[in-house]
Structure 1
Amino acid sequence: MNQIDYTTTSPRFSVTNNKELDEGLAYLNEHGYVVISDVMSQDEVNMNKELLWKFIENVSNSTIKRDDPETWSTQWPSFSSHGVISGLGIGQSELLWSVRSNRQVKNIFARLWNTRQLLVSFDGCGVFRDWRYNSTWKTNGGWNHVDQNPKLKP
């Protein structure tokens, strides 16, 4: 199996610049993936992080504390070694509705599909614990449902 080349970065295309977004969609058609930047403001990112932690703390009956990595191994809501949360109401959570209804997210998909009439399915999300605290938290490879490197794919 080929190793992933982490030295080459994927190009980013800004959602706030129509020309760049067009270039990004052309890149998607050619390469099969694209990385879109500037989708959320830092305030929106912070709000969604807060919603994620609120979800995790609630489904763990408050046994998981965001500021205490020692609590992250008990009751962690992931159903796989890949970091995917696909149950416990995550699909209809405030977090996922916040992400799927984000104006820029909708604009990207409207451009991609050439329609504003969008239908979404959001069954789960990926959540990765910082495995520097505990090496057993390191996510298993092989599923690669994240940004891929443009130079060498696994």
Structure 2
Amino acid sequence: MSSIQTTTIQADTTNPILKLRGSHLEPNTSAYPELDKKGYTVVRNVLSKEKSSSYVDKAFDWLEGFDKGFKRDDRSTWKPESLPAFSRGGLFNRHGAAHEQWAWDIRSEQNIIDVFAKIWDTDELLVSFDAVNISLPFDQDANFQKDAWPHTDQSPLRRHKHCIQGIANLVEVGPKDGSLLVLEGSFELYNEFFEIHDKDAPPEGWSWRDSFLPTNDQLQWFYDKGCKWKKIEAGPGDLILWDSRTIHYGGNAEGDSIRVATYICYKPAKDILPDALERRKNCWDELIGTSHDPLLFRETGSIALGPLTDDERLRPLQRPVLSDRAKQLAGITSY
């Protein structure tokens, strides 16, 4: 194992449940040097094409199971009104999506776990209960959120290497297809930006929430520094990784290409605070989703946010069956 760095974090008095311990492991990205050079990388062929295809089939089974009119083989049904509620081009964090069996099966794939085990120098990990993405190429006049939404998934209060996020990509995505877009060079400028723009903080200060949405003027600062948008191209079974300080967003599907992916993030189990662990167990008991960070998370989904309609499905139709390894990843069985 390589040497481990630690970072001391000032106590977060606004929300003690969400703060880390006084010191914690930083991600060890030496196995994936592009993460330190560019802020993102693609680990190729983590899952086989055959396995990826089987997960795509299960994703479409899930959509068809809502009986809203969507049929995978009938292009005329590929419209928002034939689908359960989603955000952006196809982000599903409602309807118990985070706890569907196929989503858990992907989280439990050993080859994916091994990638994050290298990053954290341990295989004793917890995983997020995060969303899935099934983006269809809708017609131009379709009613859905089409705008870009550049953001980081790290609080301005955290200015160190804190979290590596992942996308299990299940289909071919090229330069014209829906995929992750990253603002190249933005993560290297993260600290400088907040030092210069400290006056932009709201009166109550920067939020502890691991999310920051820059304004157009703030984005222009990055453009003036030479940062440019890049769409990540990946194949079925590839794992996309990025440093949470990187400005990014999910692009909509274009042309005739679909996008099917799941969001996954792992961190060391030993670093979670007892209160947060109890909250994780409750999320599992109630089948509630979480935001990306397995340790510093927020509850998401239909139960946490409230349903949009009276007939909204709150949980999966069937509770997922977890393997012994998945129970450890969920935090309901200790290592």
TM-score by length of 1: 0.72
Partner of 1:135: 140
SS at match of 2:228: coil
Residues 120 and 136 from structure 1, CA distance in 2 versus in 1: closer, same or farther, beyond 3 angstroms? farther
Correspondences of 1:1-154 after superposition (within 5 Å): 25-58=32-65, 60-61=66-67, 63-73=69-79, 74-131=81-138, 134-137=139-142, 139-143=146-150, 146-148=180-182, 150=184, 152-153=228-229
Q: Secondary structure at the match of 2:33?
A: helix
1:79-104 residue CA offsets vs partner (Å, 9 max, x unmatched): 22242100111111122112111121
* Structure showing the higher strand proportion among its residues: 2
Deviation at 1:72, TM superposition (A): 2.3
In structure 2, give the amino acid aligned to 1:142.
W
Q: Report runs of 4+ in structure 1 exceeding 4 Å deviation.
A: none
Could you say which structure has the higher helix fraction?
1
Partner amino acid for 2:95?
L
CA distance in 1, matches of 2:55, 2:229: 30
Indicate the structure (1 or 2) with the bigger Cα radius of gyration: 2
Alignment length (residue pairs): 130
Distance 1:23 1:136 in 2: 46
Pair 136,120 (structure 1): closer, same or farther in 2 beyond 3 Å: farther
SS in 1 for 2:43: strand
- Is there any run of 5+ residues in structure 1 with no aligned partner, and where? 1-21
Any stretches of 5+ residues in structure 2 without a counterpart?
A: 1-28, 152-178, 185-226, 231-335
**How far is the alpha carbon of 1:68 from its aligned partner?**
0.9
CA shift at 1:126, angstroms?
1.7
TM-score normalized with structure 2 length: 0.35
Give the root-mean-square deviation of aligned CA atoms. 2.5
- What is the identity, as a one-letter code, of the residue corresponding to 1:48? Y
Q: Is residue 68–residue 84 contact of structure 2 (8 Å, CA) maintained in 1?
A: no
Identity %: 24
Structure 1 CA distance, aligned partners of 2:125 and 2:107? 11
